[in-house]
Structure 1
Amino acid sequence: MSTDSEQQSIRCMVAKVGLDGHDRGAHVIARAFRDAGFEVIYSGLHKAPEDIVQAAVQEDVDVLGISILSGAHDTLVPKIMDGLEEYGAKEDTLVLAGGVIPDEDRATLKDEGVAAVFGPGTSIEETIEFVRENAPKR
């Protein structure tokens, strides 16, 4: 029997895609994930969808959190999802989106394979609990 401390921690990547330079929320969630015991990789700013996909695959992440406030979520997130599918990683990666994403666009992102969309005002605890409950088991 394994104890919680013996279980592999959840590997998360917090990614900033496109020209969006507003990264305070990404830093807050990355720190909260780290404090919750998750392994966290931060992509840095201004990453192309292909760069995020390659990093997520190479780092073998369980969770990919995409932070986007630029309004380009309807273009950039599907490119990330397509890239994960090309690498065979879409089914094994819990993909989350966070930021300023209009309610009317959320269903489309979920149809693309995004598990949840967290907007302004979402509590850190809610996000952490969602990851704990939904991250792929290895």
Structure 2
Amino acid sequence: MSADQDQNQRQIRCLVAKVGLDGHDRGAHVIARAFRDAGFEVVYSGLHRSPDEIVQATVQEDVDVLGISILSGAHNTLVPKVVEGLKEYDAFEDTLVLVGGIIPDDDRDDLKEMGVAEVFGPGTPMSETIDFVRENVSGKR
């Protein structure tokens, strides 16, 4: 098997991250389990991580997908800091950034304009999220 084939065959690596003071992590655990069940390799950040800690973990773990779970309402402050940090490490172009949580429609558009690939709200079928990752990670690799 060539190196290119091996790269295309490796498991999708995901970091499920809780940034800021948001202590609600049920959704993060649910999506992490769904990703594992779908055959993805998953790293969970734990609660109360700073944007810089999330950036460092994304870079060090060499993940394909960064899923930020946020319910605190601080998405307009924290997500841009994560995106900017990834850009500083030249890791943004290679990382599919997703946001999950209760995000107002206007804010969803703003997040997407800054480069977030998709925003998933409560009740999104797991299959939809998994299919989105599979369809969009291949373009990032």
Q: Of the candidates 28, 32, 35, which is equivalent to residue 34 of structure 2? A: 32
- State how far apart, in whole Å, the 2-side matches of 1:92 and 1:7 are: 16
Corresponding residue for residue 55 of structure 2: 53
Q: How many residues align?
A: 137
Which letter maps to 2:119? V
Cα displacement string for residues 7-49 of structure 1 (whole angstroms, at most 9, x for unaligned residues): 1010000000000000000000000000000000000000000
Match of 2:86 in 1: 84
State the match for 1:105 in structure 2.
107
> How far apart are 1:102 and its partner, in Å?
0.8
The ranges of structure 1 where at least 4 consecutive aligned residues each deviate by more than 6 angstroms after the TM superposition are 1-4
Counterpart for residue 23 of structure 1: 25
Distance 1:62 1:20 in 2: 24
In 2, the alpha carbon distance for the partners of 1:13 and 1:95 equals 10
Amino acid at match of 2:87: E
Write the letter of the residue equivalent to 2:23.
Answer: G
1:49 and 1:7 mapped to 2: Cα distance?
30
Higher helix share: 2
Q: CA RMSD, aligned part only? A: 1.7
Alpha-carbon separation, structure 2, partners of 1:131 and 1:7? 15
Give ranges in structure 1 of 5+ residues lacking alignment.
none
For each residue in 1:50-71, what CA deviation from the matched residue of structure 2 results, as whole angstroms up to 9, or x when unmatched?
Answer: 0000000000000000000000
AA in 1 matched with 2:41 = E
SS of residue in 2 equivalent to 1:135? helix
Q: Which runs of 5+ in 2 are unaligned?
A: none
Which residue number in structure 2 is paired with residue 67 of structure 1? 69
